[in-house]
Amino acid sequence: MSNTHFTGPVPGEFVPERSEDAGAPRPEPADAGAANPPYRRRPRYAGKNPRRFEDKYKEHDPGRYAETIAKVLSSGKTPAGTHRPIMVPEILEVLAPVPGETAVDCTLGYGGHAQELLARLLPGGQLLGLDADPIELPKTTARLRALGFGPETFRSHRSNFAGLPKVLAAAGLAGADVILADLGVSSMQLDEPARGFSTKHNGPLDMRMNPQSGQSAAAFLGRVRPDVLAALLTENADEPFAAVLAPVLAGHAYATTGELAAAIRAVLPRLDKDAQDLSVRRVFQALRIAVNDEFSALDMFLRYLPACLNPGGRVAILTFHSGEERRVTKAFDAGRREGVYAEIAQDALRAAPIERRDNPRSTSARLRWARKADVL
């Protein structure tokens, strides 16, 4: 997988995993000192594991370094530059894709769910993958092509899922038998400091899924009114300190994620570090939702959804916080009452304990599903 921010060793270049003599002086060449060469500082040993995202060259090329990737996965971490699909068995069970059907993955991301769906749609079926992100989409398209999914079975389209009806029409599809939406951001987006989503690594305060349109989080914060910010910190992330944070943060176009995180901590000096970190995460989440207009996109998607499903079609939506969950539940309940959906999930499904242990990002996931009535 290519990485435009790559500054580490050349992929493929041998770098020892473990150096027994790390830190030991290197033997001088036999003629050292003969001609009094200028003093050159010995390069410092870089360490066993690259720490910075851009140095994790093996993880940016998972196909080539399968063993390293397997090790990272077994330690309960997600390798940088990849994304682990959440609740795959549960999603496959509720969506029940069969050969010959048409599926739409509205949030293609790394293509983990898409890959599993495609395997069950063939022969004869097809999957259309949408994503708002123009940086990751071509990489994922190339990855799925390399797995053997040609244009007759898999097509991708850079689009917001709010425009699903138009995308379906442009693709010549009357509707889909299976629709999946796995909301929020991918691990690739979160882990890449340059995208500005990360609370852990410093980077420009951007947070746009599509950095080619709309305004960055920095620009948004610079312009937003304190009362509006307070309301959205509450609405988008249930931030309990919204009222004290908003007047300080609003009107400041913090250049970096680090500056914003430091400003949030400075407003809450009496909280311990863990509590401060939680507030940092919630403020980042609230800003991300605002900058990407995520709730409007979800509302629009939920409104158009029944018209995009074929009779008997199934939809599954993975949500990650209460704002998303409320909207999905309300829309499915209303659709069930009106007879649009023949069946809906009674309760949200959760990731199995083993998945929650292995992939902490699955802990907050809630899966809801609906099946459209056969005849309306």
Ligand X SMILES: C[S@@+](CC[C@H](N)C(=O)[O-])C[C@H]1O[C@@H](n2cnc3c(N)ncnc32)[C@H](O)[C@@H]1O
| Residues near ligand X (CB under 6 A), total | 22
Neighbour tally for 156: CB within 10 Å: 22
Nearer to ligand X, 8 or 97 (CB): 97
- DSSP 3-state of 105: strand
Residue choice 118, 132, 217, 302 for contact with ligand X (CB under 6 A): 132
Nearest approach in angstroms of CB 162 to ligand X is: 6
Beta bridge partners of 291: none
Q: Which tokens sit at 285?
A: 């989440």
Question: Which amino acid is it at 33?
Answer: G
Q: Which tokens sit at 357?
A: 């242990």
> Of how many residues is the chain composed?
376
Are 227 and 215 spatial neighbours (Cβ–Cβ below 8 Å)? no
Pairing of strands 366-372, 309-319: antiparallel
**Helices and strands (H and E) in the chain: how many:** 14, 7
289 sits near ligand X (criterion: CB under 6 A): no
Separation between Cα atoms, residue 222 and residue 264, nearest integer Å? 15
125 sits near ligand X (criterion: CB under 6 A): no
Nearest approach in angstroms of CB 87 to ligand X is: 10
Site string for ligand X, 45-74 (x = CB under 6 A): ------------------------------
Separation between Cα atoms, residue 300 and residue 311, nearest integer Å? 20
Are 139 and 125 spatial neighbours (Cβ–Cβ below 8 Å)? no
Alpha helices in 250-367 (DSSP H): 257-267, 273-291, 294-308, 322-338, 353-358
366 sits near ligand X (criterion: CB under 6 A): no
Nearer to ligand X, 102 or 189 (CB): 189
Nearest approach in angstroms of CB 138 to ligand X is: 12
Residue choice 3, 78, 160, 216 for contact with ligand X (CB under 6 A): 160
111 sits near ligand X (criterion: CB under 6 A): yes
- DSSP 3-state of 363: coil
186 sits near ligand X (criterion: CB under 6 A): yes
CA 203 to each of CA 14, 51, 61, 186: distance values in angstroms, whole numbers, following the listed order: 29, 15, 22, 17
104 sits near ligand X (criterion: CB under 6 A): no
Site string for ligand X, 9-48 (x = CB under 6 A): ----------------------------------------
Cis omega before residue 306 (within 30°)?
A: no
113 sits near ligand X (criterion: CB under 6 A): yes
Nearest approach in angstroms of CB 320 to ligand X is: 8
Q: Which tokens sit at 238?
A: 């249930």
Nearer to ligand X, 185 or 245 (CB): 185
Nearer to ligand X, 117 or 229 (CB): 117
Residue choice 85, 97, 323, 335 for contact with ligand X (CB under 6 A): 85
Residue choice 62, 79, 81, 184 for contact with ligand X (CB under 6 A): 184
Q: Among positive and negative, which fits the CA dihedral 129, 131, 135, 140? A: negative
Nearer to ligand X, 57 or 320 (CB): 320
131 sits near ligand X (criterion: CB under 6 A): yes
Nearest approach in angstroms of CB 303 to ligand X is: 14
Given the rule CB under 6 A, which residues bind ligand X?
83, 85, 107, 109-113, 130-133, 136, 160-162, 182, 184-186, 209, 297
